[in-house]
Amino acid sequence: MPANSIRSLHRSFGKSIGRLAPEWVVDRYRHWTTDAYVVSFPKSGRTWFRTMLGTALQLQFGTRAVDPTSVHLMWMLDPNVPRLLFTHDVNAHLNHVDAIGWDGQRYRNKKTILLVRDPRDTIVSLYYEMTKRVRAYDGPIDAFIRQEAGGIASLVAFLNSWMRNLHQIRESLLLTYEDLHAQPHAAVRAALAFVGAGEVSEDNIAEAIRLSSFEAMRRMERAGEVGHVRLRPGDVADPQSYKVRSGRIGGYREVLSPRDCAFLDDYIARHLNPRLARYKHAVTAG
């Protein structure tokens, strides 16, 4: 049976199984049909990356019936679109540092993109997510970054577990938020090729990056153009409650005290996996 026919069959079956089967069956089916995973710790730039990929796929395959952040659904509109699943894996931001591990069984035989960001910018962004959007934390930021469940220790433990085990995955791609900023075209092109999207045109990639700029995404969020909660502010009047805040590299220095910056610098320098050595030094906001 031709590959397109098989994918069309999966598409029809997938629509039915989602309505009729128990959750564990749905999870197994999703894993079985997934072409590639995108794994990240929360607030590592996933929504931006997701929007760039989704917009490029929309332009290439004409899947505009779903919003660009719903890239995981586009395969239902065109069987040639790779099926992508975005995940925070073990949700390390909700777990004590001692409980964070790596379950490689799910990823070993699947293409997997690991998206990482400077832990200092990540943890500050997570603080605003937890206080302004989901409202799961109401303490000060200095206590937040030091807590053993969801603070910098949990974030570093998550990154370390992945860096130690990335070699066990048959096909993996490490992308950084900072590289997405510095060379977005090259990074998006590499990701699209890696997940099996075929020859996406250079013009479509460039247009996807333009349409997914922080200014454009902030405008979409403010206007409610994307119906899903993933791109909706906690409070339209509060800039810090937006999913898309500033996205600046090194912006943590504008939020944290010198004492808190020194604490994070020291913790990262002492504990972060050497393969992420680029983050073992202070970053200038810019």
Summarize pLDDT for 177-190 with one digit per residue, the tens: 999 999 999 999 99
Name the band, by pLDDT with cuts 50, 70 and 90, for residue 15: low
Rounded to an integer, what distance in angstroms lies between the CA atom of residue 113 and that of residue 91? Answer: 17
Chain-wide mean pLDDT for the chain? 84
Q: CB-side exposure of 116: number of CA atoms within 13 Å?
A: 24
Can you give the pLDDT at residue 228? 47
- CATH 3.40.50.300 placement within the chain: 34-279
Q: What are phi and psi of 22, to 5 degrees?
A: -65, 165
The pair of three-digit structure tokens given for residue 249, joined into one six-digit string? 């590299």
Name the band, by pLDDT with cuts 50, 70 and 90, for residue 232: low
Instruction: Evaluate if pTM is beyond 0.75.
Output: yes
Rounded to an integer, what distance in angstroms lies between the CA atom of residue 140 and that of residue 138? Answer: 7
Name the band, by pLDDT with cuts 50, 70 and 90, for residue 200: very high
Can you give the pLDDT at residue 226? 56
Closest CA to 29 of 51, 5, 12: 12
The pair of three-digit structure tokens given for residue 38, joined into one six-digit string? 């995108």
CATH of segment(s) 34-279? 3.40.50.300
Percent of the chain's residues with pLDDT above 70? 80
Can you give the pLDDT at residue 19? 58
Q: What is the mean pLDDT of residues 252-267?
A: 96
Rounded to an integer, what distance in angstroms lies between the CA atom of residue 32 and that of residue 45? Answer: 26
User: Quick count: other Cβ atoms within 10 Å of Cβ 268?
Assistant: 22
DSSP codes of every residue in the chain: --HHHHHHHHHHHHHHHHHHS-HHHHHHHHHHH-SEEEEE-TTSSHHHHHHHHHHHHHHHH--TTS-TT-GGGGGGT-TTSPPEEEE-TTTGGGSBGGG----GGGTTTSEEEEEE--HHHHHHHHHHIIIIIS----S-HHHHHH-TBTSHHHHHHHHHHHHHHGGGSSEEEEEEHHHHHH-HHHHHHHHHHHHT-----HHHHHHHHHHTSHHHHHHHHHHT-S-SGGG--S-TT-GGGSSS----TTGGGGTS-HHHHHHHHHHHHHHS-GGGGGGSS-----
The residue type of 142 is: D
Q: What are phi and psi of 150, to 5 degrees?
A: 100, 0
The pair of three-digit structure tokens given for residue 102, joined into one six-digit string? 């790596």
The pair of three-digit structure tokens given for residue 120, joined into one six-digit string? 């200092």
